Amino acid sequence: MVEQLGDAVHFYKLGLELAMSGGYFELVDWLAGQGKRVFVDLKFFDVPATVAAAVRNLNNRGVAFTTVHGNQSIMEAAVAAKADVKVLAVTALTSLDRGDLDDLGFDCDVRDLVLSRARRALEAGCDGVIASGLELPALRQAVDDQLLVITPGIRPVDNRAEDDQKRVVTVEQAFADGADYIVIGRPIRNAPDPRKMAQSIQATIAQAFAD
């Protein structure tokens, strides 16, 4: 896929499914050797010392971002262990909606949860957060430009019924509302011509900034 996409994509997010398939770090190293940027998205959530050790193992191998998903002490441990990798805190997964938060026992709406976690991430020294585009305007108002905001759940095409992403926005809306980076996976991977789709999205981004 990387070879098929060529220069249409320069930054790759490597997630949990790939980590369980074997060859994860071989691919991390290969991508870095190809001049690509790498985002290790494993959402570390464990006792602080274990998370710190995991983050430490990502230093000095060409990894740009990694994710943590936990409380204050977990985030602080990750930040203390990082060197050249930026630590991003997960706020609320884009597959979650109000009903899901009820099931998990959160007595607040999604927006309030995202803002609370973003403020705590800032206090912990994280470099940024992962947040849906639907919360971007409120998030920028709450933390201004003190955190990078990486926005998944981008759908440049119609959201299909079988898609598990519930809180989605378009490319244009995400950047207009303050995203620093967007994550686009399945719309490219599942396209009849992935390279053509990636190039189309790149053109949309260029136009958004030109406007």
Could you state, in order of their start, the residue ranges of all structural domains in the chain? 2-210
Q: Which residues contact 71 (CB under 8 A, 6 or more apart)?
A: none
- pLDDT value of residue 2: 96
Residue 148 pLDDT grade (very low, low, confident, very high; cuts 50, 70, 90): very high
Mean per-residue pLDDT, 17-24: 93
Position 110, amino acid:
V
196 is catalytic: no
Range with the poorest average pLDDT among 63-77, 98-112, 134-148, 168-182: 98-112
- pLDDT value of residue 166: 52
Pick from 90, 57, 64, 83: nearest CA to 10: 64
- pLDDT value of residue 153: 82
- pLDDT value of residue 161: 42
Q: What percent of the chain has pLDDT over 90?
A: 71
Q: Tens of pLDDT along 68-93? A: 997 899 999 999 999 999 999 998 76
Q: Tens of pLDDT along 157-180? A: 544 444 445 557 899 999 999 999
Residue with tokens 């905001």: 149
Q: Find residue 39's DSSP bridge partners.
A: 13, 65
Classify domain 2-210 by CATH number.
3.20.20.70
Q: Report which secondary-structure segment, H or E, holds 150.
A: strand 148-151
- pLDDT value of residue 98: 53
Q: Which of 13, 36, 43, 86 is catalytic?
A: 43
